[in-house]
A = this chain, B = another copy of it.
C-alpha cells in the first residue's frame, strides 16, 4: 500500500478541474500554477487519467482538460487508482498466497484494512469535496492569488511568490 504526492497530486488536480468546471478547458499550466505542481509531472499524471477516461482533452490554444464524467460520479478512489497507486494493503493482492503459496498469519487483517480504506475513498466524490468548507476556503485563496495576474511576467510572479513566503 502506498499513498504519496503522486496520488495526492492527481486528486488535487482533478479537484481543481471540478472547481473550475463550466469555464471551458483548463490548461495544465493553470493547474500547475494554482496547485504548485510541476507542469511536466502533471502531463504524466494526466496521461494516465486520460487513459482511464477520467478526463478529456482539447488541444491547441485555449485547450486543456475537462472532467469526462459528472463530478458526483468520480470518486477519490478512482483517481488514486488511475495513477497506479493502489490502496491495497495486502502484499498478495488479496490472493492469499502471501507465504510460499499459502496464507500468511496477518493476511485477513490487511484485507480488512484494505476494505476500510477502499470504502472510505470510494464514498467520497469530487462533488463532495467541492462543497466542503475547507476546500472552498483554499480554492478562494488560490483564485484571488492567481486571477488578474495573467499579465505579470515570470519574474514578477516569482517575486510575488517569495514575498508571500
Contacts and interface: CB of A to CB of B under 8 A. Distances in A.
B135 A105 contact: yes
Contacts of A106: 8, 11-12, 15, 129, 135
Contacts of A5: 91
A132 interface: yes
Contact of A105 (B2, B15, B89): B15
Contacts of A132: 108
Interface residues of A, number: 45
A36 interface: yes
13 contacts: A1-B3, A12-B106, A35-B105, A102-B141, A103-B138, A105-B138, A105-B139, A106-B135, A107-B138, A108-B135, A109-B129, A112-B120, A116-B117
